[in-house]
A and B are shown apart, each in its own frame.
Chain A
Amino acid sequence: MLKLLSFLMLMLITLAAGAADLQFVSTMDEKPLAIPADVIDTEAAKDFIATGKNAYIGNADAIKAGKKTFQLYSCTACHGAHAEGAVGPNLTDDKWNYAKNVNDKGIFETIWGGTAGGMGAKGKGLMLPDDPTQGLTVDEVLKVVAFIRSNAH
């Protein structure tokens, strides 16, 4: 029995060590959020999935691209042109509906999987379940986050 347990422990440690990536959880229901390998499209995306660090924060080009995506997907409709809030929450102050949004992993999870009764999922494959080609890649979400953070005060 003891042997079996230690064997299982060993297995778990090995598994954890093998899977270097972080665990992402849905803001909607706290269930694990799967990020398929094919939407982890750039080095920055891979780095983020492994470490939770968004390399685009403060990067002027990324912020510009993020702004474009923010407009393209009508994020502006609810959150305002500069993410200052309109008919949806302000994303530039220190008040969050979901406390974890203060860090980049948390806000990524909220954008990727959506919220309960609030915003729909924006991640590729989740935005429109019938059409997996729709939605944002990991890299696009990171740039949107960089844009949002650039407006913070």
Chain B
Amino acid sequence: MRTHQLKLAVGAGLLSLICNTAFAEEDLSKLMQDDNQWASQRKDYSNTGYSRLSQINKGNVGQLKQAWTFATGVNRGHEGAPLVINDIMYVHTAFPNNVYALDLNDNQKIIWSYFPKQDPSVQSLLCCDNVSRGLGYGDGKILLQQNDGTLIAFDAKDGTKIWETKVVDVKKGESNTNAPHVFKDKVITGMSGGEYGVRGYISAYNIKDGSLAWRAYSNGADTDVMIGKDFNKENPHYSALSVYEDVNGGNAEGGSFKALDKAKLKFPEADLGLKTWLKPQAIKNGWEHGGGSTWGWYSYDPSLNLMYYGTGNPGTWNPDVRPGDNKWSMTIFARDLDTGMARWGYQMTPHDEWDYDGMNETVLWEAQGKKLATHFDRNGFGYTFDRTNGTLLVAEKMNKFVNWASKIDLASGVPQKDAKYSTHQDYDAKGICPSALGVKDEQPSAYSPKTNMFYVPLNHVCMTYEPVESKYVAGQPWVGSTLTMFAGPEGVMGGFMAWDGLKGKSVWYNKEKFSAWGGALVTSSDIVFYGTLDRWFKAVDAKTGKELWKMQVGSGIVGNAITWGHKGKQYVGVLSGIGGWAGVAMNLGLNNDTDGLGAAGGYRELTKWNAAPGGGAMNVFSL
């Protein structure tokens, strides 16, 4: 009898656990459907940054006024955005990654806060400013991914710590800047360190207790990359051994990789995460420090149960010391959320020579009855895939100044590189467009199902690139290239455009003085919001790009615009606090005429628009 009772109790416990999990998923899906909330970094699983709120429309947007602001008390780059859940706003900051829960029902009074104690030395691992891209939410928990790799789940209501785990090993040069993303019952989190010789991976934790569900590497054997038998089934040529001629030693100065036709590719091959790191590498096994970090925005399709993300640049930036395609760096992966197994993977920039880190967001959308995924890569091409199987449908230049490749061959998926812009050790390659910052960096685009267009913040910067010999030491920078950056042929450093994902064409294009380094928001009233480095928060017409409203905030914007509703009123908001790659030099006080020719040089004029270091604040507007 006793045993029986115990069984029953266990059974009941299990049942409640199952119910809770189911409830957790339903809870987040519901919140994502409710436009009064902003429950995940890009609003929804699909990464659209789209809201159906329409109280602010083209007729009245000109009357937007500041509603309130919240200074975060922390300087330097504030990327990402707060979350708004059930009348509470959750604000994060740059290092040390403080968290504030603000009560929207009580004049933004602080309900709870958290101040991580991190070893300050982790800052030396953050290549491109001390940023965090925000918090995650699910199962009643707020998720914080600290720069030092600590992942914490708090009770969203009162800030009680529920569980805590360590994601990365800082001793290996690994760190975190990404936002944790909650998909169903998993917390997905990546890692940074492509400039420190890391071996990249992405991890899934169970949201219930913080236990590791799976971890998939970006390089190494198929078992580590979690590649199984159905991988790239419909596009086996994505799993080719090499996509260029004479890969081993053929990339000497003056020559270049010549793309192979699909007919000449050898596929499918297994263990490409090992085999595409040919000898001699800079170190014994190149793939062990082969980069492929995963610090971007991830998306998820519940109907396919697939999650999508991009992997970063191979290590080091000196291409001559890592012959081969360097898989699976620079790759868009689709993985089964439950098992982590890769369904498809497409390498955008085989054997990268320019640091065109492939971590940018992948946005999921539907058109002509097809399930699609669109990705705007650092390498300057806008890609649209059939997201069920990875078939490449569109790959077009986002701006004609892109010159490292003439085009992407849709049949093979291989970029046709231009020898003139190839880079080699101790040779200073000139006039490469785009720069390592990419035509777009991490700043996420938005998609409107109403206009069927993407809204894309852009960089317009070119570079010189000189690879040099460099030595790998664990936890130390391992970059192996020096570069200088300068404004592109349009004479400005940035832009913002609307993009047709089916045609692969820009519909309208606005120049920006500096890179548009803030993420976009689009609403059903056809208004697009985004921020600029010279402190403007702007609203433009989604159909034409015409400016409708703008307001200047305290510091340059590298955060993402969001919107929510509270007590019947629509609000829009954005974090300010200049930083990130574009602003880090300024934050460090580099403002002399002789200072840095890298990102610092190109962006020197930022000091005419910003105090340094940039102060963090949340800026909120309403009618």
Among B123, B471, B598, B600, chain A packs the most CB atoms within 10 A around the CB of B598
Whether A95 and B592, one on each chain, are in contact in the complex, defined by CB atoms closer than 8 angstroms, is yes
Instruction: Name 20 interchain pairs, CB-CB below 8 A, sorted by A.
Output: A71-B469, A71-B470, A72-B469, A73-B471, A73-B477, A74-B471, A77-B477, A77-B482, A80-B596, A80-B598, A81-B484, A85-B600, A86-B599, A87-B581, A87-B584, A89-B590, A95-B589, A120-B121, A128-B475, A128-B476
A73-B473, A74-B479 given; name 11 further pairs at CB < 8 Å: A74-B470, A81-B482, A86-B597, A86-B598, A87-B127, A87-B584, A90-B594, A118-B123, A127-B476, A128-B473, A135-B473
The answer to whether the Cβ of B585 comes within 8 Å of any Cβ in the partner chain is yes
Contact assessment for B585 and A87 in the assembled complex, using a CB-CB cutoff below 8 Å: yes
Which residues of A, 104-124, contact B by the 8 Å Cβ criterion? 114, 116-120
Complex alpha-carbon distance, A92 and B594, angstroms: 8
What DSSP secondary structure best describes chain B's contact surface? loop
Taking CB atoms and an 8 Å cut-off, the chain B residues in 241-282 that contact chain A are none
Nearest B residue to A83 by beta-carbon distance?
A: B596
Q: Is the CB of A87 within 8 A of B128?
A: yes
* Interface assignment of A78: CB less than 8 Å from any CB of chain B: yes
Interface residues of B in 453-485 (CB under 8 A from A): 466, 468-471, 473-482, 484
> When chains A and B are docked, how far (Å) is the Cα of A127 from the Cα of B476?
8
Residues of A within 8 A of B473 (CB): 73, 127-128, 134-135
| A-side contacts of B589, CB under 8 Å | 89, 95, 97
Q: Which residues of B contact A114 (CB under 8 A)?
A: 121, 124
1/0 per residue, CB under 8 A from A, across B600-617: the answer is 100000000000000000
- A86, B594: Cα distance in complex, Å: 11
* A153 close to B (CB within 8 Å): yes
- What string of 1s and 0s marks CB contacts (under 8 Å) between A68-103 and chain B? 100111111110110011111110110101000000
Contacting pair B476 A85 (CB below 8 A): no
Question: Which one of A74, A93, A97 lies within 8 Å of B594 (CB-CB)?
Answer: A93
A65 to B607, CA, bound (A): 35
| Contact, CB under 8 Å: A90 / B124 | no
> In whole angstroms, what is the CA distance A74 to B475 when docked?
12
- B212 close to chain A: CB less than 8 A: no
- The CA of A86 and the CA of B603, in the complex, are separated in Å by 11
Residues in A with CB closer than 8 Å to B124 are 114, 117-120
User: Could you say which residues of chain A place their CB within 8 Å of the CB of B592?
Assistant: 90, 93, 95
Tell me, yes or no, whether A38 is within 8 Å of chain B by CB. Answer: no
Cβ-closest chain B residue relative to A68: B469
B595 touches A84 (CB 8 A): yes
A130 at interface (Cβ–Cβ under 8 A)?
yes
Alpha-carbon gap, A97 to B597, bound state (A): 19
In this complex, what residue of A is CB-closest to B474? A128
A80 to B594, CA, bound (A): 12
Chain A, interface SS category: loop
Question: Please, which residues of chain A bring their CB within 8 A of the CB of B594?
Answer: 84, 90, 92-93, 153
Shortest distance in angstroms between B573's beta carbon and chain A's nearest beta carbon? 29
Query: Is B471 a contact partner of A87 (Cβ separation < 8 A)?
Result: no
Say yes or no: is B588 at the interface (Cβ < 8 Å to chain A): yes
For chain A, residues 43 to 65, give those with C-beta under 8 angstroms from any C-beta of chain B: none
Residues of A near B120 (CB, < 8 A) are 116-117
A72 to chain B, nearest CB (A): 5
A84→B588 CA distance, assembly (Å): 13
Verify if B543 is at the interface (C-beta below 8 Å from A): no
Q: Whole-angstrom distance between the alpha carbons of A74 and B481 in the complex? A: 8
Asked if B468 and A89 sit within 8 Å, CB to CB, the answer is no
* Contact (Cβ within 8 A) B476 A73: yes
CA gap between A136 and B584 in the complex, in Å:
27
A77, B127: Cβ atoms under 8 Å?
yes
Query: Are B471 and A85 touching (Cβ within 8 A)?
Result: no
Residue of chain A at shortest CB distance from B464: A81
- Alpha-carbon gap, A118 to B129, bound state (A): 11
In the complex, are the beta carbons of B479 and A84 less than 8 A apart? Answer: no
Given contacts A77-B479, A86-B600, contact A130 B171 (CB under 8 A): yes
Decide yes or no whether B79 CB sits under 8 A from chain A. no
Q: Indicate whether B195 reaches chain A with its CB closer than 8 angstroms.
A: yes
- Beta-carbon contact of A120 and B598 below 8 Å: no
- 1/0 per residue, CB under 8 A from A, across B114-153: the answer is 0000001101100111000000000000000000000000
Q: Which residue of A lies closest to B197 (CB)?
A: A74
> What B residues does A130 contact at CB under 8 A?
171, 474
Residues in B neighbouring A134, C-beta threshold 8 A? 473
Q: Write the nearest CB–CB distance from B600 to chain A, whole angstroms.
A: 6
Whole-angstrom CA separation of A118 from B596 in the bound complex: 17
Question: Which of A73, A87, A92, A93 lies in contact with B598, CB distance below 8 A?
Answer: A87
Interface contact B479-A76, CB-CB below 8 Å = yes
B596 CB to nearest chain A CB (Å):
4
| Cβ contact within 8 Å between B470 and A73 | yes
Residue from A76, A88, A97, A116 in contact with B468 in the complex, judged by beta carbons closer than 8 Å: A76
Query: Which of B477-529 touch A at CB < 8 Å?
Result: 477-482, 484
A77 contact set on B, CB distance < 8 A: 127, 195, 477, 479, 482
Determine which residue in A97, A120, A130 has the highest number of CB atoms from chain B within 10 A of its CB, and name it.
Answer: A120
CA distance A128 to B472 in the complex (A): 12
Instruction: Across the interface, name the chain A residue whose C-beta is closest to B173.
Output: A120
Contact of A84 among B127, B128, B480, B597 (CB under 8 A): B597
Within the assembled complex, what's the spacing in Å between the Cα atoms of A118 and B481?
A: 21
> Which residues of chain B are within 8 angstroms of A119 by Cβ–Cβ distance?
124
Q: How far is the CA of A75 from the CA of B594 in the complex (A)?
A: 18
Closest CB in chain B relative to A128 CB, distance in Å: 6
Provide the residues of chain A in CB contact with B127, threshold 8 Å: 77, 87
Complex Cα–Cα for A97 and B584 (A): 15
The CA-CA distance from A89 to B171 in the complex, in Å, is: 24
The residue on B at minimum CB distance from A72 is B471
Interface centre among A90, A97, A118, A135 (most CB of B within 10 A): A90
Complex: how many Å from CA A18 to CA B547? 75
Task: Report Cα–Cα, A89/B471, bound state, in Å.
Answer: 22
Min distance, Cβ B585 to any Cβ of chain A, angstroms: 6
Bound Cα distance A74, B595 (Å): 18
Residues of chain A lying within 8 A (CB to CB) of residue B595:
84-85, 90, 93
Cα distance, A77 to B194, chains bound together (Å): 12
Question: 1/0 per residue A126-149: CB within 8 Å of B?
Answer: 011011001100000000000000
Query: Is B480 within 8 A of A74, CB to CB?
Result: yes
Q: Measured between alpha carbons, how far is A30 from B473 in the docked complex, in Å?
A: 26
Q: Which residues of A contact B475 (CB under 8 A)?
A: 120, 128
Q: A90 — which chain B residues lie within 8 A by C-beta? A: 590, 592, 594-596
Question: Complex Cα distance A116/B473, Å?
Answer: 20
Instruction: Check A86 against B596 for contact (C-beta < 8 Å).
Output: yes
Complex: A118 Cα to B127 Cα, angstroms: 11
Q: Which of B70-127 contact A (CB under 8 A)?
A: 120-121, 123-124, 127
The answer for the CA separation of A86 and B595 in the assembled complex, in Å, is: 8
Chain B 325-339: CB-based contact to A (< 8 A → 1; otherwise 0):
000000000000000
